[in-house]
């Protein structure tokens, strides 16, 4: 008896792969809720998103897939390992997988904050890349420089209490 499904074409194989990933993601999401762990993608900080003057385009680079940890806007569609969570992602995910086989991928768009990357465009490509074990993915990279928080410097102040105590002691 054959317990492995037989596939008639690439589409059916890819649909099966999608379903398997999705089921694992939903199981992990269930366990994460029970244990109080967050398993959703990190969301890019909105204050950094607004600080457009603080970014620069680094251009097209190969990015380590494991350093892509979040998203700008799609944190409900994928889990923290970029596995799909919804059925509505099936068609696009399968087509993305097939386009990888045909070598038709364009670079994704990511935003770099420190050593971490957040996806703006290319969530399905990152998901497929992780599922097939790719180490690097081609990306257009925007880098953000974080500015240290501005703090007021404390200058030396003359303590008025001491001045009064000296006055009282002297007089």
* CA nearest to 134, candidates 100, 158, 110: 100
- Looking at residue 150, its pLDDT comes to 46
Does residue 138 fall inside a structural domain?
yes
Does residue 72 fall inside a structural domain?
yes
* CATH number, domain with residue 73: 3.90.1530.10
- Looking at residue 147, its pLDDT comes to 55
Residue 161's pLDDT band, with cuts at 50, 70 and 90, is: low
Report yes or no: 72 and 46 within 8 Å, Cβ to Cβ: no
Does residue 82 fall inside a structural domain?
yes
Which residue range forms the structural domain that includes residue 112? 10-144
Higher pLDDT, 135 or 150: 135
Tens digit of each residue's pLDDT (9 = 90 or more) over 85-96: 999 999 999 999
State how far the Cα of 119 lies from the Cα of 18, in Å rounded to an integer.
20
The count of structural domains within the chain is 1
Helix (H) or strand (E) holding 147: none
Report yes or no: 112 and 146 within 8 Å, Cβ to Cβ: no
Does residue 167 fall inside a structural domain?
no
Does residue 127 fall inside a structural domain?
yes
Higher pLDDT, 69 or 147: 69
Across 141-167, average pLDDT: 56
Give me the residue label for tokens 């008896």: 1
Does residue 57 fall inside a structural domain?
yes
């Amino acid at each position: 008896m054959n317990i492995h499904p037989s596939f008639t074409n690439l589409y059916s194989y890819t649909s099966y792969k999608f379903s398997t990933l999705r089921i694992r993601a939903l199981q992990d999401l269930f366990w994460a809720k029970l244990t109080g762990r967050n398993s959703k993608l990190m969301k890019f900080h909105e204050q950094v998103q607004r600080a457009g003057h603080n970014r620069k385009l680094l251009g097209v680079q190969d990015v380590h897939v494991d350093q892509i940890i979040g998203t700008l806007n799609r944190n409900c569609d994928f889990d923290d390992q970029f596995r799909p969570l919804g059925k509505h992602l099936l068609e696009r995910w399968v087509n993305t997988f097939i386009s990888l086989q045909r070598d038709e991928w364009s670079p994704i768009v990511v935003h770099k904050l420190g050593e971490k990357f957040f996806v703006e465009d290319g969530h399905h490509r990152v998901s497929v890349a992780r599922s097939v074990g790719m180490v690097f993915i081609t990306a257009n990279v925007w880098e953000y420089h974080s500015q240290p928080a501005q703090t007021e410097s404390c200058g030396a102040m003359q303590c008025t209490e001491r001045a009064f105590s000296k006055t009282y002691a002297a007089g």
